[in-house]
A and B are shown apart, each in its own frame.
Chain A
Amino acid sequence: MNAPLPKRLWLWLAQTRVGRSVFRVGLPQSNLERSQAMVSSFLLHVQPAKVSRHALRASYTLGLGLISLYLFFILCGTGVLLMFYYVPSTAQAYDVMKDLQFVVSAGLVVRNMHRWAAHLMVLFVMLHMCRVFYTGAYKRPREFNWVIGVGLFLITLGLSFTGYLLPWDQLAFWAITVGTNIAGYAPIVGPKLKYLLLGGNVVGQDALTRFYALHVIVLPAIAGLMISVHLFRVRKDGGLSRPGEADDTSVESIPLAQLPTNKSYGLMELARGTTPQVGKNPDDEVFSWPHLVFRELLLFLLVIAVVLFLAIFWNAPLEEFANPIHPPNPAKAPWYFLGLQELVSYSAFWGGVVVPALLVTMLGVLPYIDRGRAGVGRWFARERTVANTIFTVCLIVAIVLTIIGTMFRGPNWGWVEPWGPPPAITEGH
Chain B
Amino acid sequence: MNDFSLRKFYGWFTLLGLVVGVLVIVGYYRDENRPWKVYQRKFLQEEIRRAVTPDQRLLAQNTPLQIRQILLPELNRVDRCTTCHLAVEDPSYGNFAQPLAYHPLHDQHPFDKFGCTVCHRGQGRATTVADAHGNVPFWNEPMLPTKYLQASCGQCHEAADNPAAPELARGNQLFETVGCRGCHKLGGVGGNLGPELDRVGARRAPEWLKQHFLSPATVTPGSGMPPQKFAEPDLEAIVLYMLSQTGANLPGFYGSMKVLPSVSEGRRLFQLKGCIGCHTVAGQGGKIGPALDDVGLRRKPEWMMQHFRDPQSVSPGSVMPRFGFTEAEARALTEFLVHLRDQKVSLSIPALMEPTVRGREVFRKYGCAGCHGPEGKGGVPNPNAKTAQQVPALTYVADGYTKPELKKLIVNGQREIVALDPHHPAPPLYMPAWGNTIKDAEIDDLVAYLFTLKPKGEDAGF
Contact = CB atoms under 8 A, between A and B. Distances in A.
Interface of A: 4, 7, 34, 53, 91, 95, 98-99, 101-103, 105-106, 108-109, 169-170, 286-287, 290-291, 294, 297-298, 301-302, 304-305, 308-309, 311-312, 318-320, 424, 426-429
Given A91-B76, A429-B222, A102 B30 contact: no
Nearest to B220: A429
A7 B1 contact: no
B12 A305 contact: no
B138 A312 contact: no
B6 A7 contact: yes
Nearest to A106: B31
Contact of B138 (A109, A301, A318): A318
Contacts of B128: 102
A103 B222 contact: no
Interface string B240-257: 000000000000000000
B126 interface: yes
B16 A298 contact: yes
A308 B10 contact: no
B80 interface: yes
A312 B6 contact: no
A99 B20 contact: no
Given A301-B17, A302-B16, A429-B194, A294 B26 contact: no
Contact of A312 (B1, B30, B194, B195): B30
Contacts of A320: 138-140
B209 to A, nearest CB: 15
A91 B123 CA distance: 16
Nearest to B125: A98
Interface in B64-97: 67, 76, 78, 80
Closest A-B pairs by Cβ, 7 of them: A301-B16, A308-B23, A98-B125, A319-B138, A102-B127, A305-B19, A286-B1
Given A102-B125, A298-B12, A301-B13, A426 B27 contact: no
Contacts, number: 84
A98 B117 CA distance: 15
Label chain A's interface by main secondary structure.
helix
For chain B, the bracket of interface size reads 35 or more
Nearest to A285: B1
Contacts of B78: 95
B4 A429 contact: no
Interface in B137-153: 138-140
B144 to A, nearest CB: 18
B6 A103 contact: no
A423 B20 CA distance: 42
A102 to B, nearest CB: 4
Contacts of A298: 9, 12-13, 16
Contacts of A7: 6
Given A99-B125, A102-B125, A294-B6, A309 B138 contact: no
A291 B222 contact: no
A267 to B, nearest CB: 29
Contacts of B1: 53, 286, 291
A312 B27 contact: yes
A10 B78 CA distance: 51
A291 B24 CA distance: 28
A254 B30 CA distance: 61
Given A109-B27, A290-B4, A429-B222, 8 more contacts: A4-B10, A106-B28, A290-B9, A301-B16, A301-B19, A308-B27, A312-B27, A427-B220
Contacts of B80: 102-103
